Amino acid sequence: MNLLHAVLFGIVEGVTEFLPISSTGHLILTARALGLAQTGFLKSFEIAIQLGAILAVLALYWKRLLVDREVLKRVLAAFFPTAVLGFIFYHFVKKFLLGNTAVVLWSLFVGGVLLIVFERWHQEKETAQEDISKMTYGQAMLIGVFQSIAIIPGVSRAAATIVGGLLLGFKRKTIVEFSFLLAVPTMLAATALDLVKHRTLFSSSQTGFLLTGFAAAFVVALFSVKWLLYYIKNHSFVIFGVYRILAALIFFFWLVY
């Protein structure tokens, strides 16, 4: 890895973290496209730079998350199932799934199909909930269960969380913002766990790459979050489903031929 690679990874992370297209999957495919082997360092790098995108959410929503206790309690309730399942399956995912191109491509393709089908079927009701602080703790934990599916690379944490919230009867803008907030404890915990377990993998030069990717992800994510909120005012997520399918097919044929 070099400095340019670190910047590119940061840009990819910042663009994809909050869109329903899987940031982890795109980071793995980016590494494959650049010809970089999925070493222990690169796997940890792909996890750690997500913190840059998460801090962009804190910069935009810190008051909502840290001052509004009712919202914070629901975010923590939703985080609980993901924390438990993530801890249980951490070693399996890190060893067998993270870095597995086949898993990513299948997840992108199937997830794209399901996203399109869901959007064609789903109709938001006028009575849909729009206040996060009125969310029940049971609803919050169910959303967390949906989010936990994203431990499979390529699934998309954002897509799983948003679809789960829409199924439970929340307005699109409400569940998208909740997905932003839920990403904060989720990715903080994932990054902290990985860095503690693998801190010896980082040399001084690699720490510089990490900080560079972190900074790039932070800046780009600020614009990505604002753009998504603007986009969903008048659009569904069908275009993202189409993109996932096309990305999976293009990358598959590129690898084959």
Q: What pLDDT digit, counting tens, does each position of 211-232 carry?
A: 899 999 999 999 999 999 999 9
Q: Are the CB atoms for 205 and 2 separated by under 8 Å?
A: no
The tens digit of pLDDT for each residue in 87-96 reads: 888 778 777 7
Q: What angle do CA 82, 51, 233 make, to 5 degrees?
A: 80
Q: Domain residue spans in the chain?
A: 3-256
Question: For the chain, what is the mean pLDDT?
Answer: 88
How far apart CA 182 and CA 96 sit, in angstroms, is: 26
Which pTM does this prediction carry? 0.85
Name the nearest CA neighbour of 48 among 88, 13, 89.
Answer: 13
Could you tell me which of 26, 107, 73, 29 has the C-alpha nearest to residue 182?
A: 73
- List pLDDT tens digits, range 114-124: 999 999 998 88
